[in-house]
Amino acid sequence: MSTTWHVLGAGSLGTLWATRLARAGLPVRLILRDTARLQAYEMAGGLTLVEHGEAQLYPVPAETPDGIEPINRLLVACKAYDAEKAVEQLAPRLSPGAELILLQNGLGSQDAVAAQVPQARCIYASSTEGAFRDSDWRVVFAGHGFTWLGDAGHPVAPIWLDDLSAAGIPHEWSTEILTRLWRKLALNCAINPLTVLHDCRNGGLLEHHCEVATLCGELTELLERCGQPAAAENLQQEVERVILATAANYSSMYQDVSNRRRTEISYLLGYACKASDRHQLNLPHLNQLQQRLIARLLSLGLPSD
Ligand code: NAD
Ligand code: KPL
């Protein structure tokens, strides 16, 4: 009998994972915030995934956090700023040796979750898949991509990666997951805040080449000082490549701001600036970028953390 996949957070990525796992015949249970959300979900009859323009309904069973079934495998699919609290309420249900898969972007939230559940194995993930909610319980699979998973403290891959293969979730076990997360954080710091500040698509940053290059220089210094030289390699070239490859897209932070949603700034630029302070680095442009972004968020009436 396969181990049940408990999925915490039925948003974009949670739905994308839950529906594909369920479609492969694997046992999946959603964990929703409270009884009101559970009732609303039950009225909808399940999760809908829209793929290649076709919508399919998946009646994945759901429960609230105060269920009683022990949890052996938990996919944490909340935003970085919600992950620690969301996992905290499930801690009493985690079996000894439970495994958590943390899908959060940026850095900081994963360590906070892991510190809270020392009895569990925490696997960090970095994903380039893209999905968005177009209404409650309905998610559009917008960009095919790849997910790297890894455990910095324990390099052996878990057996359940076979479930991901069965579900058609493109993935790879990475023994260098922190390098991948740092690299993605640096890319996001070089691109996303500037798209908000210049109110543009990623391609609009081609007109701000010098500003991007200066930030890449400071981010490279930071990565090297943080013991991440591999994540620093040819950073500017990759940032320029991503800007060109995604020129027509709006960055995830731009989309959060334009939809008036809280951003993950504290786990991206905020994390980078804190790390630079810790290492007593002088990175004036990165610090200014954080101040400018905070000011912009506040002027829009959005949370600045
Ligand atoms: P989302 O906002 O669509 O979904 C998060 C869900 O978690 C929401 O439904 C929210 O209600 C739920 N949630 C929050 N606290 C909860 C709690 N205590 N109990 C139960 N549910 C709770 O977010 P998302 O876009 O799926 O992003 C999740 C993470 O994945 C983020 O860190 C994001 O940066 C990362 N990511 C997203 C994408 C994407 O395409 N959406 C791609 C790569 C990485
Ligand atoms: O990951 C991204 C995002 O928008 O969050 C890219 C496309 C790489 C831009 O930083």
How do the pLDDT tens digits run along the chain, 305 residues long? 799 999 999 999 999 999 999 999 999 999 999 999 999 999 999 999 999 999 999 999 999 999 999 999 999 999 999 999 999 999 999 999 999 999 999 999 999 999 999 999 999 999 999 999 999 999 999 989 999 999 999 999 999 999 999 999 999 999 999 999 999 999 999 999 999 999 999 999 999 999 999 999 999 999 999 999 999 999 999 999 999 999 999 999 999 999 999 999 999 999 999 999 999 999 999 999 999 999 999 999 999 99
Cα 154 to averaged position of ligand 1 atoms, centre (Å): 26
Helix count and strand count (H, E) for the chain: 12, 12
Cα 251 to averaged position of ligand 2 atoms, centre (Å): 5
Structural domains of the chain, ranges and CATH numbers in brackets: 5-175 (3.40.50.720), 179-299 (1.10.1040.10)
Please indicate whether residue 204, judged by its CB atom, sits closer than 6 Å to ligand 1.
Answer: no
Atom of ligand 1 nearest to the CA of 132: 41
Atom of ligand 2 nearest to the CA of 250: 4
Dist. CA 41–CA 8, nearest whole Å: 14
Cα 7 to averaged position of ligand 2 atoms, centre (Å): 24
**Is the pTM for the entire model greater than 0.95?**
yes
Dist. CA 40–CA 52, nearest whole Å: 26
Please indicate whether residue 242, judged by its CB atom, sits closer than 6 Å to ligand 2.
Answer: yes
pLDDT at 143: 87
- Cα 251 from chain centroid (whole Å): 13
Please indicate whether residue 191, judged by its CB atom, sits closer than 6 Å to ligand 1.
Answer: no
- Phi then psi for residue 89, to 5 deg, are -75, -15
pLDDT at 103: 98
